[in-house]
Amino acid sequence: MNRCHSHDKLLFTPGPLTTSSTVKQAMLQDLGSRDTGFIQCVQDIRDGLLKVAGTSQAQGYECVIIQGSGTFAVESVISSALPPEGKLLILINGAYGARIAQISSILGISYCLLESAENVLPDLEILRATLTENTDISHVAAVHCETTTGLLNPVAEIGRIVKEAGRTFIVDAMSSFGGIPIDMNEFPADFLISSANKCIEGVPGFAFVLARHEALQKARYARSLSLDLYAQWRGLEENGQFRFTPPTHALLAFLQALSELQDEGGMPARHQRYEANHFELIAGMTALGFSCYLPTHLRSPIITSFRYPDHTCFDFTAFYNRLNELGHVIYPGKVSSADCFRIGTIGRIFVADVLALIAAIKQAGCDCGFMGDDGIIIQEVN
C-alpha cells in the first residue's frame, strides 16, 4: 500500500486544490501524445479557455499551453516577449510580483520596479508618470490576485494606463482566472497567464497563456528552448502537438474541469461560490477571535490572510498539524512584515466545507491551548 495514500483531505490552499472525483477519474486513461483523441482534447482546451475569457481566435486571441507549473509560463512570457533592448516595469506588492523581478534578473532582462507594501495598492499616478518619463520601458507586468496576502490589484485600470501609454501589458492572473470574471475583450492585457491547478480546478502539470495575436507574433526573443512561447504556439498550431512530452493525464483532467466550470454556470457562478466560501470563512474566523491582515476593500475571494493570535500557546506548526490530522489543510503565511497564516477558499469546496473547517479550527485551537472551551481565542492578561 502506498504510504502517502490517505483519505482525501480538504485543501484550503492556493493550489494544488481540492478537485472533484470526476476530474480525478478523467485521468484513468493512457493516451499517446499523437492520438487523435488527445489532439482533439488539446484543441478543445485551447478553444475552451478562450471561450471562458469571452473571446476566440477569430477575435484575435491565442491560447498557448506550457508544460510545468505556473512559474514556467510566467518565465516563458517574460523570456520570449522582452526584446534585448526592452525594459520591464514590474508592479510589486507581494511575493509573486517579486518573483517576476527574480526571473528578469536571472535572464539578464533590464527592469525597474514600482513597489508598495503588501497591504497597499500601486499608485496609478506614479505609474502614469513613470511611463511618461521613462520612454525605454517597453513592457509592464502586474499580478492580479497577489496570493501572498489575497490582495486584488486593479489590473484593468493598470492595463488601461499601460495601453494608453502604448506599452505591452503582462498579467499574472494565476490565482484568479476562472474564479474572478475576466473578459479578454475588455481586459487590456496582451499576455494573461494562469495554470491548471487554480480556479479552473484541474490538477497540476501545465500552465497557459492567453495572448493577443499581434503581441504573440512579436514574442520571438526566446532565451530558452523549452520555454519558447512563440515556438510552442507555432507547434500547437501546426499539428496540434506539443514540442515535448505533454502532461496527457493532467490535460484529460483539465478538459473535464472546464466542462464542470461550464456546468456550474461559468466564471460568474464560480465567483459567487468562492465569495460565499470567503464570507462564511471571515464570519466564522472573526467569531473565533481571529483578525484579517488586509482591510475589507483589498480582499479577494481566493485566499485570506489571518494574523497569528496573540497567545503564548499559539504555534503555527502545531496548529497546522492538528488541523491536518482532522482532515483540513491550511497554508502558511508569506507576508514579510506580519505573522500570518492563509486559508484558501478556491477548489471543489463549498460553504458546508468551510463550516466544517471552522469547527475543526475550534477543535485544534482548544487542543493547542490557545482557545477556551467556548471555542474563542483566550485573551491573555499580563
Ligand X SMILES: *Cc1c(COP(=O)(O)O)cnc(C)c1O
Q: Residues interacting with ligand X, by CB under 6 A?
A: 14-15, 69-71, 96, 143, 147, 172, 174-175, 195
Name the residue with the smallest CB distance to ligand X.
70
As separate numbers, helices (DSSP H) first and strands (DSSP E) second, the chain gives 12, 14
- Yes or no: say if 202 and 174 are a contact pair by the CB < 8 Å rule: no
Of 15 and 246, nearer to ligand X (C-beta) is 15
CA 370 from centroid of its chain's CA atoms: 32
Q: Which residues contact 365 (CB under 8 A, 6 or more apart)?
A: 288, 319, 371, 375, 377
Q: Is the peptide bond before 295 cis (omega within 30 degrees of 0)?
A: no
CB of 232 to ligand X, least distance (A): 17
Residue at grid coordinates 498557448: 64
Nearer residue to ligand X within complex by CB, 80 or 194: 194
* Closest CB to ligand X among residues 74, 127: 74
Q: Tell the smallest beta-carbon distance from residue 15 to ligand X (Å).
A: 5
Q: In the complex with ligand X, which residue's Cβ is closer, 95 or 231? A: 95
Write the CB contacts of 133 (distance below 8 Å, at least 6 apart in sequence): none
Shortest approach of ligand X to residue 324 CB, angstroms? 20
List phi, psi (to 5°) of 226: -70, -25
CB of 227 to ligand X, least distance (A): 13
Can you say how many angstroms the Cα of residue 168 is from the centroid of all Cα atoms in its chain? 21
Minimum CB distance to ligand X, residue 69 (Å): 3
User: For residues 55 and 61, is the Cβ–Cβ distance under 8 A?
Assistant: yes
Q: Which residue, 172 or 353, is less far from ligand X as judged by CB? A: 172
Q: How far is the CB of 61 from ligand X (least distance, A)?
A: 21
Would you state the cell numbers that stand for residue 255, as one nine-digit string? 478538459
Closer to ligand X by CB, 191 or 314: give it. Answer: 191
What's the rounded Cα separation, in Å, for the pair 59 and 211? 11
Shortest distance, CB of residue 355 to ligand X, whole angstroms?
25
Cell numbers for 329:
489543510
Of 71 and 79, which has the nearer Cβ to ligand X? 71
Q: What is residue 302's DSSP assignment?
A: S
Taking the CB of residue 265, how many other CB atoms lie within 10 A of it? Answer: 12
In eight-state DSSP terms, residue 7 is: S
Minimum separation from the CB atom of position 85 to ligand X (A): 27
For ligand X, the closer CB: 302 or 378: 302
